[in-house]
A = this chain, B = another copy of it.
Amino acid sequence: MKPRGGQRLLRQVQSVLEQRCPETRLLCSQTPGSRGFASAIPQEAFDEPPQNHKEGKVLHPDLLNENFRNAEYAVRGELYLKGQELVKAGRDIIFTNVGNPQQLGQKPLTFNRQVQALVSAPYLIDHPQAKGLFPADAVARAKTMLKYFPGGVGAYSDSRGSAGVRQEVADNITRRDGYPASPDNVFLTDGASVAVRYMLNAIIRDNRDGIMVPIPQYPLYSASIQLYGGRLLGYQLDEDAGWGMGIPELRRTVRDARANGLAARAIVFINPGNPTGQCLSYDNLRELIKFAHEEKLVLMADEVYQENIYQDKLPFVSARKVMMDLGEPYSKEVELCSFHTVSKGSLGECGLRGGYVETTNLHPGTIEEIYKIASINLSPNIMGQVAMSLMVNPPKEGDESYPQYKEERASTIASLRRRAHTMTDAFNACEGITCNFTEGAMYSFPRLHLPQKAIEAARQAGKPADTFYCLELLEETGILTVPGTGFGQREGSFHLRTTILPPEDQMPVLVDRFQTFHKKFMDKYR
């Protein structure tokens, strides 16, 4: 095996330490390709074994894996736990902390659930009595599904997911972008989060590897980067420009990272944005792709809200399409990972946990490594894979179920569109709140211009001002939101995130309750 950069570096470290610190024992990884990080431990330390228990517990919280302990996940953090407490105490809480549409009343697509029922109980498929209960196309689709899954929904599939469903995903991407996609580049996963985490785990080698992440960001990224021991390199979205992504800010982030001895390895972007709700323009995506190419960054395209679009100026366009449109060298060289899910859009099937990553220009050896890691968990769940098949290959014009499917889908998206307006308008009608319009996704992320006295009261309570605000909001109104702190925000600015998911008929009451609270809060701390 020929020497590599990492081994050279390792030898340098060894030689420095051996010559000058002979009493220092060097623990180092001998694996080929190692980055050459090594742990220098004084000989004496070996007389003191690692601390293995505290107060009688091996698994004392202080003795857990450091990254495990330090990872934070705000969406189910302090506010959520407080909300759970209130629920136990009998309070009526509106959970707008998580994009969980069906919990707030979004109806599943009828066709999809018919197929899910039939694959769950295949004896219904040819049951004479079940004839009128299921349309013919649902029965046909269930039969196809049972071909895709030998052994049915109770058997493990391949660890990448069923070949049949992966083909459907690839076909759907091909139709969407106008450029052919391959099932060999698709991994089905238990929700998109799992796919994101495979990629981050593969990319991050140690705490000198950085992942560029928008600020504000979805905390899946901050939590996972921490868990895998890497560095989050935050780039600021520009709130005053509708949460736009500026290339100079991206450049600054890379430059600062390099100056600190860090490697920027990948850039995450979320389009439509979470928590910001912005949609990226075609031109912005072009710039982003050129930037990723120039800086040799893996492009992680979180496009899980691609169906959730609430304006016509910026329709969804995938990073993959823009990259292919750009042509070479970009189309052949930029390493792209695109994520999608059944949890959002018109399905909103969060509980079924179906997602995928589709990769472009990845090294085949890397695909194999991801496959191997996926195989440790044996198989993504089958019902999530069935849901994915139904999402990417829905009823078509002429099918028995098409009219109902079309109507249900359109009405869900139209209702979300109305709610996006209602929510944003409600915030902007408040004194001291400014809120960019929710162009897409499922969230509003208003900025709270809080009075100095409120900031001071929060400080006294030992809490960030937005957490303080959200806690009061929760206790007064039962509305559970997430403070901006959990997503990241410019120093000195305060926000909250709410979903736009409460049902339309409840919206007026909620808006009123919120505005009343806000007015009271502002008056209290004026």
Contact = CB atoms under 8 A, between A and B. Distances in A.
Interface in A238-279: 258, 261-266
Contacts of A49: 258, 261, 263
A389 to B, nearest CB: 14
Contacts of A261: 46, 49
A335 interface: yes
Interface string A335-353: 1000000000001111111
B121 A366 contact: no
Contacts of A521: none
Given A118-B117, A376-B71, A376-B227, A381 B203 contact: no
Contacts of A48: 5, 9
B154 A351 contact: yes
A37 interface: yes
Contacts of A375: 73, 75-76, 80
6 contacts: A33-B63, A64-B203, A71-B373, A103-B156, A108-B154, A152-B351
A510 interface: no
Interface in A124-155: 124, 127, 129-130, 132-133, 149-155
A471 to B, nearest CB: 19
A68 interface: yes
Contacts of A149: 351
A2 B261 CA distance: 31
Interface in A182-200: 190-191, 193-194, 197
Contact of A133 (B44, B130, B353): B130
Contact of A156 (B9, B68, B350, B378): B350
Contacts of A191: 377-378
A179 to B, nearest CB: 21
B151 A102 contact: yes
A139 to B, nearest CB: 13
B57 A366 contact: yes
Nearest to A29: B66
Nearest to A209: B50
Contacts of A133: 124, 127, 129-130, 133
Contacts of A38: 39-40
A63 B62 CA distance: 32
A21 B42 CA distance: 13
A513 interface: no
A460 interface: no
A452 interface: no
Interface in A410-459: none
A351 B42 contact: no
Contacts of A98: 156, 378
Interface string A38-73: 111110111011111101111111111110111111
Interface string A309-350: 000000000000000000000000101000000000001111
Interface stretch (A12-20, A168-176, A399-407, A472-480): A12-20
B13 A156 contact: no
A104 B156 CA distance: 11
A24 B373 CA distance: 36
Nearest to A16: B42
Given A120-B116, A263-B49, A159 B76 contact: yes
A72 B371 CA distance: 11
Contacts of A51: 4-6, 35
A167 interface: no
